[in-house]
Amino acid sequence: MKLYGSITSPYVRRIRFLCLELGIPFQLVDTMTESGQKELREKNPLWKVPYLETDDVKIWDSHTITDYILETKGHGKFRPKAGDHLYREANLLTAIDQALDNAILLFYLNKEGIKPDAAPYLTKNALRISSILEFIKRELSGNHFFSDGKVGLSEIALYSTLDWMRFRSVLPILEEEIFVNFLNFHGPNKSWMETAPK
């Protein structure tokens, strides 16, 4: 299995984490290199990561890659993507991804010297992140979203998102006790440590 992406991408990290936890071997093609980026652009019209190739299957969306892995390799110890919690978890994933996408946009614009107040749309994006994080704080009870105590896709998405925000200093995540507790609870996991951005 060939996984295209960078070690700093939170979306790629989710796939790397799943593969490590489920014992699935993969080759990471670093798209931060010139050759890796060239190969990605030749194969993936979106020019986005993660991108997965395995056998005759080619997938260029993190959620579809996740579905493929879980359907072909099983859920292991993770909470299955089914049951009464399905739609609540889908909403959580949508919210977390929206916050992450907006944070990534702010990060890259900031690198270009463009601040959130440069345009009403950018201000709205920044406010949307705050709204979503407030929602996540309300939904998060203890260290998990659900009372079964298992880790599912929403916990994986939230950990990779919060840790990326902390790594990139996009938002003051460490000022929020509930997020710090969440990161500290999941952080000692070997696969999270092995996939940490550098």
Q: What is the pLDDT of residues 134-174, one digit of tens each?
A: 999 999 987 789 988 889 999 999 999 999 999 999 999 99
Please tell me the distance from the alpha carbon of residue 36 to that of residue 113, in angstroms, as a whole number: 28
Q: Strand, coil or helix: what is 39? A: helix
pLDDT at position 88 is: 94
Could you tell me which of 57, 46, 45 has the C-alpha nearest to residue 1? 57
Mind listing the pLDDT tens digit for each residue in 77-130?
999 988 888 999 999 999 999 999 999 999 999 999 998 888 898 899 999 999
Side by side, which strands form the sheet with 27-30?
Answer: 27-30, 2-5, 51-54, 57-59
Q: Which domains does the chain have, with CATH numbers?
A: 2-74 (3.40.30.10), 84-189 (1.20.1050.10)
Residue 3's beta-bridge partner residues?
28, 52
Structure tokens at 169: 């200093």
Q: What is the pLDDT of residue 83?
A: 85
**Helix (H/G/I), strand (E/B), else coil: 111:** helix
**What is the average pLDDT across 166-184?**
94
> What's CA 9's distance to the chain center, in Å?
8
CB 142 within 8 A of CB 81: no
Determine the pLDDT at residue 30. Answer: 98
